[in-house]
Amino acid sequence: MKLFVRVGFAAVVLALFLPAQSETLRCHGHIIETGDSTLSVRYHCGEPLLQYSYCAPIYYFPGLQPVPEPLASIVVPCQQIDEWLYDRGPGNLVATVRFRAGVVLSIRYDARALE
C-alpha cells in the first residue's frame, strides 16, 4: 500500500513539472495562444476566412450528463462557442481557433485544403 501511495505521489509531482502542451498560432510575427482574447486575435491575425458560432450544452456532475430542458434554457444557458478558420497560405496547415467566452480555448491545425 505504501508503494502505491509513493508511486501515485511521484506521478502527481512529475505531472506538475511537465510543460503544458498547447498549440500556438503565429500571425504577422505575433504569437497567439490559449487564453488570448478575440480582440487580440483579430488585431494580430486579421479577419478570419470563416466564422462559425454555436451554443454548446453545459454538463453537470455526476456522469457528465447534459442539463435537461427546460432547465437548460431557463436556469443554465448554453455556452457560446466561436470557431474562426485561418488559411495560412500555401504549404501551411489551415488553423481553427476555438473561443469560449471571448477567450482562445484551443488552436487546431487541419491538413484539409480549402478549394
pLDDT at 16 over 60: no
Looking at per-residue pLDDT, the higher value among 97 and 13 belongs to 97
Mean pLDDT of 22-29: 86
At 73 the pLDDT is: 64
- pTM of the shown model: 0.68
Integer Cα distance of 114 and 94 in angstroms: 8
pLDDT at 37 over 70: yes
pLDDT at 78 over 70: yes
Cβ atoms of 68 and 78 closer than 8 Å: no
Domains of the chain in sequence order: 22-110 (3.30.1450)
pLDDT band at 9 (very low <50, low <70, confident <90, very high): low
pLDDT at 50 over 90: yes
Cβ atoms of 97 and 87 closer than 8 Å: no
Compute CA 102 distance to the chain's CA centroid, rounded to the nearest angstrom.
Answer: 11
Integer Cα distance of 2 and 4 in angstroms: 5
pLDDT band at 19 (very low <50, low <70, confident <90, very high): very low
